[in-house]
Amino acid sequence: MRDDAIAVRLDLEGFRVIETIEDDDAVTAVVETAVPAGLCRRCGAATLASKGRKERQLRDLPVKGKPLWLRWRRRCFRCDVCGHRFVEHHESIPKGVQATPRFERYLYDRSRPGLIPLSQLARTERVSFYRAQRAHTRGTAGDLDGAVAVPTRLAVDEASFKRGQDYNTVISAPELGRPIELVRGRDGVGFAVWAGMLDEEFRNQIRAVTVDLWVPFHQVIRAAFPGAAIVADKFHVIRHAILALDRVRRMRQRESRRDWRGRLFKSRFLLLRNRETLTDEQAARLKALLVDEGRLRTAWGLKEDLRAIYRINDPAWARRRLRDWCRRAQESGLEPFADVARMIGRFEEEICNYFEHRITNAYAEGVTNKIKCIKRIGFGYRNFDRFRERVLVACL
């Protein structure tokens, strides 16, 4: 034993520290129970005779940044009445485990935010990867099995699982500030299975579901939540107009003289900026460009007009403005914007529902961004169930 060995305060009820051994890479605490022997487990008699001790080694919370091992000197007993022999147990330490429950909770608390991969946690804490994974799985089950308040709004979005167009569907409750479920695929099958397992009270409580323009999601929502309004996400609608503007610019760039192509190419990000975010210098550059480019001027005006419609507070007036926008886009002679107008015509009801409910997919996009971070930190995932655990508890 080292001369400068430390004393360890365990905070484990019913134990006392007999000896502390500190090495360069670990700390070992020799402990014994500080409770009476109790009764015989077979006959209940109190006449027990001590028959020595057996040691059991357990991993516990680290001390001074070093792993702590508990060397538990368990008492062995023999009943004088029935002759039954047994070794003492403690209610806080289950049979057969190699670590205290609070150490497993400690591993889970460190892995729960999703800021470090489990492999790195295992190396840092000097445990096997499987122990770290098991602690995370058990902790996840405890946190996710609790009752969840029934939301009134849902947000549905897709998130990439791994390369090769392998996507999952994320169902979130923005008002609760948490994702509810992560299911395989984006074809609507997993989403439909999850929705079919919900009780009727949950489904009837949903008043609105915000989603992008992916048709399989809309079909599931109409079938599973008949009383909910489908709200097309504002960002995804405006994004179509932004992409149409960029298509017009690229068409003009291909048609233009060589000396004019560079100017159009360098203006690609300038055209996509919102009007209110332009600096004075950028506004002057944009004005000079649009004076010489009639089709770009029309396209940029259509993009800004669609954005302006989303600032209207009156739903009826917004619907009329949207229909007028579609008419002007069809008559503009710009095929990319004619495509956008036809898309808006197909999803007019879902788009106009935004002006009634005023909700977007912003929270769901935030969850998707965190999922990307979890994937990068973990260097990708192959097991969907483990991936689902990491996502759901990291976003609680």
212 and 118 in a single domain? The answer is no
191 and 286 in a single domain? The answer is no
Residue 80: predicted pLDDT = 85
Residue 380: predicted pLDDT = 84
Residue 57: predicted pLDDT = 93
54 and 157 in a single domain? The answer is no
71 and 120 in a single domain? The answer is no
88 and 115 in a single domain? The answer is no
pLDDT in tens, 131-181: 999 999 999 988 887 767 889 999 999 998 888 788 999 999 999 999 999
User: Which of helix, strand or coil describes residue 57?
Assistant: strand
Distance CA 101, CA 45 (A): 31
Distance CA 34, CA 164 (A): 59
Question: Is the CB of residue 170 less than 8 Å from the CB of residue 192?
Answer: no
10 and 104 in a single domain? The answer is no
Residue 232: predicted pLDDT = 97
Structural domain of residue 83, as residue ranges? 1-98
Residue 114: predicted pLDDT = 85
37 and 181 in a single domain? The answer is no
pLDDT in tens, 57-89: 999 999 888 899 999 999 898 888 888 888 888
263 and 179 in a single domain? The answer is no
Residue 19: predicted pLDDT = 87
List per-block mean pLDDT (blocks of 10 residues) for the chain, which spans 396 residues.
62 85 88 83 80 90 89 89 86 87 93 89 92 91 79 94 88 93 93 93 94 95 95 96 95 82 88 93 92 92 96 96 97 96 97 96 94 89 90 88
Q: Are strands 66-79 and 166-173 parallel, antiparallel or unpaired?
A: unpaired
259 and 339 in a single domain? The answer is yes
353 and 238 in a single domain? The answer is yes
| Number of domains observed in the structure of the chain | 4
Residue 106: predicted pLDDT = 94
Q: Which two tokens stand for residue 161?
A: 């699982």
**Which among 27, 12, 100 is positioned nearest to 64, based on CA atoms?**
27
Distance CA 89, CA 192 (A): 48
CATH of the domain at 373: 3.30.420.10
Tell me the angle at which helices 384-394 and 129-144 cross, rounded to the nearest 10 degrees. 60
350 and 371 in a single domain? The answer is no
Residue 1: predicted pLDDT = 47
163 and 300 in a single domain? The answer is no
